[in-house]
Amino acid sequence: MELSKLIRKNIASLAPYSCARNEFEGEARVFLDANENPYNEPFNRYPDPLQRDLKRRIAEIKGVRPGQIFLGNGSDESIDLAFRAFCEPRVDNVVAIAPTYGMYQVCADINDVEYRKVLLDENYSFRAESLLAACDEHTKLIFVCSPNNPTGNAMPFEEIVKLLEQFEGLVVVDEAYIDFSSQPSLLTRLEDYPNLLVFQTFSKAWGSAGLRLGLAFASEEIIAIYNKIKYPYNINVLTQQQMLDHLQTPSQVRAWVAILLEERARLAAGLRQLKVVQHIYPSDANFLLVRVDDPVGLYHRLVGEGIIVRNRHSVRLCEGCLRITVGTPRENDILLETLKRWEK
Ligand SMILES: *Cc1c(COP(=O)(O)O)cnc(C)c1O
């Protein structure tokens, strides 16, 4: 793989914005360089554009180098930047499994890039050959979401490795739900595959969807391209501070994950007792995809009780399905008791 052939020409030749915080790094007594208001500490100061403290800590936790990390305003920013960096509008295309997370297609459409879907098989799985068969010389990215949303299962590790070995473009593996999975992360393969991008997020297991902080891991060369085209101050001061605090207690996250995995099993067992439930798909994530009788009717009855699940009935291969997030024991009980009451 040659990165210089994958990157858009205008991005390769781009002179990035040089912000005050980048031109001078280090300690000083008086900062009069960025037209900030000297009052209202600490919010008066622009944040570190490269989030160095945060990346140092994340690098320790994840076992990578800080230069292999990009932080974005949610994973959505990492997804969008992949299109903007590598896909020439109306010329290039991307390939993705289907059904999957909706933002890949939305970002493709916004960037005017052809989006090629390859349907998963009856086990919600895929073979590398079928994705590679959908590629041509203009395919820049392949998207694989593992564990996949909305199907819930992890994608076959060896097939992802085959893509990394055989595809000449970049392979994006979205691991938003990896902390709930028994399958290992692709992160350990970062050194082996210069065409690998791994996306993770603090929105799920880390309990911080409101902070908007997504992670992308890739070679230092790819991360340098991301840094060149991102908004200079894409992660605000509050988010950086709050996440640094949160990263002091990774044991808290492990405890949450343990509870949610137990609850996932208990919720599945409870749902299995119900006559309306036809099938519960295996899950490596913090949600269950459940096929039910009359999904649309059931969805609206639940809304009437103030219980909101995700209706996936209109998604190809998910006909008849609701996607149910695993909540607290109390929340899961409310759902189960409500459904049980209606069976009588
Ligand atoms: C929830 C989710 C994300 C997280 O997106 P953020 O923008 O980081 O909140 C990413 N990918 C998938 C597949 C998801 O389901």
CA of 278 to the centre of ligand 1 (A): 28
Kindly list the distances between the CA atom of residue 270 and the CA atoms of 212, 309, 323, in Å, as whole numbers in the listed order. Answer: 33, 16, 15
CA 71 to CA 45: how far, in whole Å?
Answer: 19
CA 41 to ligand 1 center in whole angstroms: 32
Which residues are registered as beta bridge partners of 287? 325
Which of the four pLDDT bands, split at 50, 70 and 90, describes residue 23? confident
Query: What's the CA dihedral at 77, 79, 81, 84 to 10 degrees?
Result: -140
Q: Predicted confidence band at 74 (pLDDT cuts at 50, 70, 90)?
A: very high
Q: Which of 217, 208, 161, 155 is nearest to 181 (CA)?
A: 155
Q: What integer pLDDT is reported at residue 160 of this predicted model? A: 98
Give the atom of ligand 1 at the shortest distance from the alpha carbon of 203: 9
Query: Left if phi > 0, otherwise alpha if psi is -120 to 50, otherwise beta: which for 310?
Result: beta
Instruction: Summarize pLDDT for 253-269 with one digit per residue, the tens.
Output: 999 999 999 999 999 99
Tell the residue number behind the tokens 């103030």, with chain if given.
Answer: 306
**What is residue 192's predicted lDDT score, i.e. its pLDDT?**
97
Residue 60 pLDDT > 90: yes
Q: What is the distance in angstroms between the CA of the first residue and the CA of the last residue of the chain?
A: 61
Between the CA of 294 and the centroid of ligand 1 the distance, in Å, is 28
157-172 pLDDT, tens per residue? 999 999 999 999 999 9
Q: Cα 56 vs. chain centroid, distance in angstroms?
A: 21
Residue with tokens 């919010």: 43
For ligand 1, mutation pick of 143, 148, 149, 213 (most atoms within 8 Å of CB): 149
pLDDT for 155: 98
| Closest atom, ligand 1, to C-alpha of 145 | 13
Model pTM score: 0.97
Name the residue at shortest CA distance from atom 4 of ligand 1. 75
Residue 238 has pLDDT above 80, yes or no: yes
The number of beta carbons lying within 10 Å of the beta carbon of residue 296 is 13
Average pLDDT estimate for 87-107: 98
Residue 44's pLDDT is 96
pLDDT tens digits, 193-211: 999 999 999 999 999 999 9
- Please write the tens of the pLDDT for every residue from 297-312: 999 999 999 999 999 9
Pairwise CA distance, residues 54 & 71, whole Å: 9
Query: How do beta strands 170-174 and 196-201 pair?
Result: parallel
pLDDT of residue 310: 98
Whether residue 21 has pLDDT greater than 90:
no
Provide the residue type at 143 as one letter.
F
- Give the distance (Å) from ligand 1 centre to CA of residue 127: 24
Distance between CA atoms of 98 and 104, rounded to whole angstroms? 11
Question: What pLDDT score does 20 carry?
Answer: 80
Q: What is the DSSP string of 173-209?
A: EE-TTGGG-SSPPGGGGTTT-TTEEEEEESSSTTS-G
- Which residues does ligand 1 sit against, CB inside 6 Å? 74-76, 101, 145, 149, 174, 176, 201, 203-204, 209, 214
pLDDT surpassing 90 at residue 185: yes
pLDDT band at 249 (very low <50, low <70, confident <90, very high): very high
